[in-house]
Amino acid sequence: QLGFLYATGRGEIVQNAVLAWVWFARAAAKGVKQAAQHRDRIGRLLTAPELADAQRRADLLSIEYRQQK
């Protein structure tokens, strides 16, 4: 859900393709098939530095998630 919110900028969420990529990547890592498709589609729209930033953020989120378990 967060990936769609950031991709579209709905409600109080400001549109942010980098954060959309991060949340779709997280969902894809959990096995959500369509999330991987959305992540890849958004990834094609990002610049190389934006994609690197998104990947770094996704990695940090995964580390934080594992530490909470």
5-57 pLDDT, tens digit per residue, is 999 998 899 999 999 999 999 999 999 989 999 999 999 999 999 999 999 99
| pTM for the full predicted model | 0.88
Which pLDDT belongs to residue 29?
92
DSSP secondary structure code for residue 1 in this structure: -
Give CA angle at 52 (45, 5), nearest 5°: 55
* Type of residue at 46: L
Q: Strand, helix or coil at 2?
A: helix
